[in-house]
Amino acid sequence: MKTRRQEAVVALINQYDIETQEELAAYLRKEGFEVTQATVSRDIRELNLSKISTGSGRQKYVTVPRDDTGLGDKYIRVLRDGFVSMNMAQNILVIKTVQGMAMAVAAAVDAMKLPEIVGCIAGDDTIMAAVKSVEETMLVMDKINKILNGGN
């Protein structure tokens, strides 16, 4: 049942510009799936979905492919397209993004698999990345700057 439901989620977000979990749940119910908000939230996380701007002031869910071979071109593009600025507060790296892009950029940062980063939390346009030390925060900033400036 879970596999069928998650396949339906992917099909629905590819067919419609779905902006919220509530919209996704409504589409799933129309397809005959009994879902709760918690189920939809878990599916979004397990399917590695993210939101992107549609250009019309709205957002929509999209699939973000997992790339275990390194930082893929799509992640690099998301990082470059969504990045606005970054600052450090001791061992916390705060990354500002284009509105609605924080989750996608955080996924790109997570895909970098930097051993210095303990974890990321994303809001709408801000990411807080916990880094092991102040020195390593500066190292992470350098690595991100290299990617932003064209060097992987």
- Domain locations along the chain: 2-63, 73-148
List residues bridging with 128 in a β-sheet. Answer: 94, 121
Buried b (16+ CB within 10 A) or exposed e, 27-62: bbeeeebebeeebbeebbeebebbbbbeeeeebbbb
pLDDT mean over 49-57 = 77
Q: Can you give the pLDDT at residue 137?
A: 94
Q: Can you give the pLDDT at residue 23?
A: 95
Q: Are 108 and 97 in contact (CB under 8 A)?
A: no
Q: Tokens 């990354």 — which residue?
A: 95
Q: What is the pLDDT of residues 1-48, one digit of tens each?
A: 889 999 999 999 989 989 999 999 999 999 999 999 899 999 998 888
Q: How many CB atoms are located within 10 Å of the residue 21 CB?
A: 17
Q: What is the pLDDT of residues 105-151, one digit of tens each?
A: 998 898 888 889 999 999 999 999 999 999 999 999 998 998 888 75
Domains 2-63 and 73-148 share a fold: no
CATH (residue range 2-63): 1.10.10.10
Cα separation of 149 and 151, whole Å? 6
CATH (residue range 73-148): 3.30.1360.40
